[in-house]
Structure 1
């Protein structure tokens, strides 16, 4: 029995890091909470008609929760886009503008267009809104715009405070959880953006979001070696980047939701 348990634990360890959970529950809720704090009363009211009593923060993890249901397997590739190393901004923008694959970029555009349709049935509208909230958060996690050969950092094994993990999982959840804040505390701590900066972020094209994450991902790849032991120093070097991405994700999500529900 003990041997079987060890085998099962090993299989679980091998399997879990390959899952693309994006920011993890805490990160997605931080993005959702920041977004809600930047919405107009009209947008909040219209979103409430779709989601009912649930907040933007609390529905933000729905697309990850339903991964246990095979009926939602089609969502797997919606959470990310993989791009090869060494692309310029112009090349990334060209790839995105010509993109016809089922990935985060095409699906965000699809969901925005669908949610603007007045005739969209309520159940589908609620599902689409939950997915959109999640995907906007996803693309601000840099490793969701990572390289195809390592599955966005999932195959780059490292240690985080002497515990085995991988680069993707570290950025999904472990770096955020290390700060030891609730999602509301974290959102409050980050939400110090000026109206001018907020307006700039909201008005930037979506291709800019993806290129920024792509650039950061490149830095993260260069910042680690396979099997490297990471701890306090890594947190010190990257906490500002982490916080900036969470804040941008929240503000930009508010801009998208305002576009759909603010009029």
Structure 2
């Protein structure tokens, strides 16, 4: 094999890996941890006990990023089977029920499956651990607007932008760069965002139907595309940071509500 061919193959493989990991990592490490940590504030006593028994010495913040971290595992399950479980595709002229899931499944079908696994007395401990970690992760994913893509641009990955004068793409901006721009730790984000969730918002956001979350992301999706893709900086940050904060808060509240519902007695 020539060095040129080797170089082409390596470049192609790298591109595929970068696309896959980028598309799967809604909110990035920090954002996912924030949603998991917020959720812990709203867990019922029953849910806390069940989660502690299943994942001792592991917080929901830690559990929230596991599904992305495991994507480096070369096993076929992680490289192929689980890849579609981080997003849904909803064309612009349809809602999710009309669009439906592809034959390989998506975040919605995976979430329902993992809920069944947690509720089944026949599931093994390892199966339930995986299900719990995926549930925390997927709920976070579905609150990132570009993880409910329209199927035309790989959830914004194909939309090249310049964010604060550096080359990027729209999906990466929403996954992590908007959050990173504030230079806060996940614990600082959690403390600040949790303190601002009012009792009324807590009630308003109580909804354990994933189709509701998907519809919200689809409604937000069109508005995240910039007017000037080569000049995304302070104005874009100012315009969209309130949405980022709200979606992180909502995801955290709904992770808790979803798990509370699973473990209610």
TM-score in terms of structure 2 length: 0.87
Shift of 1:135: 0.4
Q: CA RMSD in A?
A: 2.4
In structure 1, list runs of 5 or more residues that go unmatched.
1-5
2:40 equivalent among 4, 20, 36: 36
- Pairwise CA distance, 1:13: 7.2
Listed as ranges, the gaps of 5+ residues in structure 2 are 1-6
Work out which of the residue numbers 145, 148, 159 in structure 1 matches 2:148: 145
Q: Check the 8 A contact 2:117/2:127 in 1, yes or no.
A: no
- Matching of residues 151-162 of structure 1 within 5 Å: 151-162=154-165
Q: Which residue in the other structure is 2:3 paired with?
A: none
Question: Judging changes above 3 Å, is the alpha-carbon distance between structure 1 residues 58 and 228 closer, same or farther for their aligned structure 2 residues?
Answer: same
**2:238 is the alignment partner of 1:231:** no
Is the alpha carbon distance of 1:9 and 1:235 closer, same or farther for their aligned partners in structure 2, counting shifts above 3 Å?
farther
From 239, 251, 254, give the equivalent of 1:252: 254
In the alignment, structure 1 residue 171 sits paired with structure 2 residue 174: yes
Cα deviation, residue 147, structure 1: 1.9
Among 199, 203, 222, the alignment partner of 1:199 is 203
Partner residue in 2 for 1:26: 30
Q: 2:123 matched to which residue of 1?
A: 120
Shift of 1:103: 0.3
In the other structure, the counterpart of 2:65 is 61
User: Are 1:217 and 2:221 counterparts?
Assistant: yes
The Cα offsets for residues 111-143 of structure 1, whole Å up to 9 and x where unpaired, read as 112211122110111011101110000000110
Deviations 1:79-129 (CA, angstroms, capped at 9, x unpaired):
001221233xxx434434x77650011111111122111221101110111
What SS does the aligned partner of 2:162 have?
Answer: strand
TM-score (norm 1): 0.88
Tell me, yes or no, if structure 1 residue 82 matches structure 2 residue 89: yes
Q: Contact 2:205/2:253 (CA < 8 Å) preserved in 1?
A: yes
Mapped partners of 1:64, 1:224: distance in 2: 31
Could you tell which deviates more after superposition, 196-205 or 209-218? Answer: 196-205
Counterpart-to-counterpart distance in 1, 2:103 and 2:16: 31
Is the 1:46–1:262 contact (alpha carbons within 8 Å) kept by the matching residues of 2? no
Superposed CA offset, 1:35-61 (max 9, x none): 011112321111011111000001111
Q: More displaced, 233-242 or 106-115?
A: 106-115
